[in-house]
Amino acid sequence: MAGRYGDLDYPTLAKGGFALGIALFAVGVLGEFAIGATGTPVPGWEKALLFDAEVIGVLLFFFSPLVFGVVLPLTE
């Protein structure tokens, strides 16, 4: 029987969102570290892109398990 939101696999979505958040955060941090360590000049949009990746990664890291692991299963 399909739930309210269809046949969503909540544990897989929670784990996948958590892993994606960690990966985005790691790419942002490692990218900024590499830029600082090598001292290469980069455009401002690249620094903004890496910062945005960090912020979105942290948001996914915190809210994906909360939304897909707690809130949505409780509303079924």
Give the global pTM: 0.85
20-38, pLDDT tens digit by residue?
Answer: 999 999 999 999 999 999 9
Is pLDDT above 70 for 51?
yes
Residue extents of the structural domains in the chain: 10-75
Share of the chain above pLDDT 70, in %: 95
Three-state secondary structure string covering the chain = CCECCECCCHHHHHHHHHHHHHHHHHHHHHHHHHHHHHCCCCCHHHHHHHHHHHHHHHHHHHHHHHHHHHHHHHHC
